[in-house]
Amino acid sequence: MTDKRPTLTLKPKAKPARTQEKGARPARPSDARPAAKPGQGSSQDAGQKPVYRPSPEREAARREQAAPADRPRLRESHEVKVAPQRDYRPDLKADSLALALLGAASAVARVRAGSALPQALSAVFTAYEVTPQARGAIQDIAYRSMRQLGRSETLLGLMTSKAPEPPMLGGLLSAALALLDPPEGSAPPYEAFTVVDQAVNAAASHPDFAHAKSMVNAVLRRFLREREALVAEAVRQPLARWNYPQWWIDSTRAAYPAEWEQILAAGNAHPPLTLRVNGRRTSVAAYRETLREAGFDAQQVGPSAVRLAQAVNVSQIPGFHDGVVSVQDAGAQLAAPLLDLQPGMRVLDACAAPGGKSGHILEMADVELTSVDADAQRLARVGDNLGRLGLQAKLIAAEAQETGWWDGQAFDRILADVPCTASGIVRRHPDIRWLRRKSDTLQLATLSSKILDNLWQMLLPNGKLLFVTCSLWPQESEAQAAAFAARHDAIRLDAPGQLLPASGAGQDHDGLFYALFQKKAA
């Protein structure tokens, strides 16, 4: 992310030096000594040398009185930064682009403050009391803004003298630029004059930056006038060219010297809507026919995976609410089959939320499943998803690196989808690139190592543990797998290894890593 320029503040005047008469002796603290009272001799007469030291409070008061009148004190009230009103509900039409831009701006500002985009959007939807139509528009613009944030902020740096304040104003300009400057080969979603007009209306409706509506108008109109030159200048910087922080670009290039450009480009693409067909309910061929009859164009991209040509709301997907299909990336659908499940097995799905893999496990075999996740709220989603499928599992809210939740009975199979930087699923979660730091890779790899070591003791001899991560960084994937196998003398079985993000005929999946281990017989 571009370095933010300092905001404009009033600099205090320099404190003038005190003047003194020529030849005069500089004042010393001892000069403040009080005069002797009548009838009392001086300290020298008594043979003593007491020194008067005023109390800290009196000394502070003396200095305050002696200070020049123009000495700066507290900042004036007009200089004090007021807390941003992100939850302010503007008086805008519910279906207007202005409201959608303002909602997206609020979400962008929240992400820049450290919130994940889904949580940021949830807060916006609650504060704005949006209609379903407005909800969709805000979400679309917010995701566009995240994918193009590096380019938008670089363009703003070329057109403004300092970073727009408050952050929500910067978010509004970034959201508008994302609409005015779509990715190469993509058609603009709105007419340019409409975007400018509605962005100005959005600015004028919010008390935090209504005064900046003229600036919003000027910046966006300048971009339209000078687009070619501004874009050419901006893309000279990697941040604007790739829309990733520099450390992310460097890490990808170091790990994949031949594929780094394709990997970065794939992360900026819109993800497909891929479904997993529930084999207990129907076959892939039969479900594709159901889709065809309902007017949906779809392609099979995995043994149970069907990719829709056009993404739609899940409420419109035939059979979704009846548990016939679930939304799951084709790459993620490889996990359950790799476990080699058999009826009656005790199976653990560690770090289970939101429950896609738990559901697939139970669709494939009648097993005794325990699903564990540290986040109780996200674990509730596992229960909801299993309920929609008509399936059940034992749900435990606990840390996978701890043992207090374990009943001591070993498992036949363990799925360890461990925490990671999620660098392989950035096309679905474009905010991740702006929230992660380079140091997160080592921290998360260390946590994952503890989880794997802890789970290994819960596995039966001859049992299998599947290590899964949605990261592209070798420290979290292959290096982690190799170190684990060496520590535990584990047998490493065939597995896909590192899957790079791919999209095309017959395949479409995120970036994932798979390593399968078997514990030696006792």
pLDDT (tens digit per residue) in 372-385: 999 999 999 999 99
Residues 115 and 226 in one domain: yes
Q: Is residue 25 part of a domain?
A: no
**Catalytic residue status for 470:** yes
Percent of the chain residues topping a pLDDT of 70: 84
**Residue 350, C-beta contacts closer than 8 angstroms, at least 6 positions apart:** 372, 400, 414, 415, 416, 417, 418, 451, 455
**Contact, 451 vs 401, CB < 8 A?**
yes
Beta strands in 420-522 (DSSP E): 459-469, 491-499, 502-504, 507-509, 512-518
pLDDT (tens digit per residue) in 384-422: 999 999 999 999 999 999 999 999 999 999 999 999 999
From 297, 328, 359, the end of a domain falls on: 328
pLDDT (tens digit per residue) in 269-322: 999 999 999 999 999 999 999 999 999 999 999 999 999 999 999 999 999 999
Residues 119 and 225 in one domain: yes
Residues 462 and 510 in one domain: yes
Q: Would you state the pLDDT for residue 198?
A: 97
Domain holding 401, by residue range, is: 330-518
Q: Is residue 232 part of a domain?
A: yes
Which has the closest alpha carbon to 207: 168, 175, 174? 168
Give the residue-averaged pLDDT of 212-223.
96
Q: Is residue 60 part of a domain?
A: no
Q: Residue 306: enclosing H or E segment and its boundaries? A: strand 305-308
Q: Give the CA angle between residues 436, 82, 437 to the nearest 5°.
A: 10
Give the residue-averaged pLDDT of 326-330.
97
Report H helices in 390-439.
432-435
- Distance in angstroms (rounded) separating the CA atoms of residues 435 and 267: 15
**Domain containing 125 — which CATH number?**
1.10.940.10
- Distance in angstroms (rounded) separating the CA atoms of residues 499 and 343: 29
**Residue 453, C-beta contacts closer than 8 angstroms, at least 6 positions apart:** 484, 487, 488
- 128 φ, ψ (degrees, to nearest 5): -90, -10
Q: Residue 299: enclosing H or E segment and its boundaries? A: strand 298-300
Which has the closest alpha carbon to 466: 506, 515, 398, 419? 515
Q: What is the DSSP letter of 460?
A: E
pLDDT (tens digit per residue) in 148-199: 999 999 999 999 988 899 999 999 999 999 999 999 888 999 999 999 999 9
Q: Is residue 315 part of a domain?
A: yes
Q: One-letter amino acid identity for 127?
A: A
For residue 400, the Cα-to-chain-centroid distance in whole angstroms is 23
- Distance in angstroms (rounded) separating the CA atoms of residues 166 and 186: 30
Residues 442 and 343 in one domain: yes
- Helix, strand, coil shares of the chain, percent, nearest 5, are 45, 15, 45
Q: Is residue 413 part of a domain?
A: yes
Within the chain, what is the greatest distance between any pair of CA atoms?
116
203 has pLDDT over 90: yes
Give the residue-averaged pLDDT of 352-357.
96
Q: Is residue 92 part of a domain?
A: no
What pTM did the predictor assign? Answer: 0.81
Q: Residue 300: enclosing H or E segment and its boundaries? A: strand 298-300
What mean pLDDT value characterizes the chain?
Answer: 87
- Residue count of the chain: 522
Residues 314 and 335 in one domain: no
Q: Is residue 312 part of a domain?
A: yes
Residues 186 and 299 in one domain: no
Residue among 216, 470, 472, 515 flagged as catalytic: 470
Which has the closest alpha carbon to 113: 12, 233, 4, 211? 4
The region, left, alpha or beta by phi > 0 then psi within -120 to 50, assigned to residue 201 is: alpha
Residues 362 and 411 in one domain: yes
295 burial type by CB count under 10 A (0-12 exposed, 13-18 middle, 19+ buried): exposed
Q: One-letter amino acid identity for 13?
A: K
Give the residue-averaged pLDDT of 433-449.
96
Residues 320 and 336 in one domain: no
**Domain containing 284 — which CATH number?**
3.30.70.1170
Q: Is residue 263 part of a domain?
A: no
Q: How many CB atoms lie within 10 A of CB 109?
A: 22
Beta strands in 129-190 (DSSP E): none
**Domain containing 466 — which CATH number?**
3.40.50.150
Helices 117-128 + 97-112 axis angle, to 10: 140
41 has pLDDT over 60: no
Q: How confident is the model at residue 255 (pLDDT cuts 50, 70, 90)?
A: very high
510 has pLDDT over 80: yes
Residues 340 and 323 in one domain: no
Q: What are the residues facing 406 on neighbouring strands? A: none
Residues 324 and 346 in one domain: no
78 has pLDDT over 50: no
Q: Would you state the pLDDT for residue 507?
A: 76
Task: Give me the residue label for tokens 């004190």.
Answer: 73
Structural domain count of the chain: 3
Residues 344 and 455 in one domain: yes
Q: Quick check: bond before 354 cis, omega within 30? A: yes
Q: Would you state the pLDDT for residue 90?
A: 82
Residues 388 and 426 in one domain: yes
**Contact, 156 vs 1, CB < 8 A?**
no
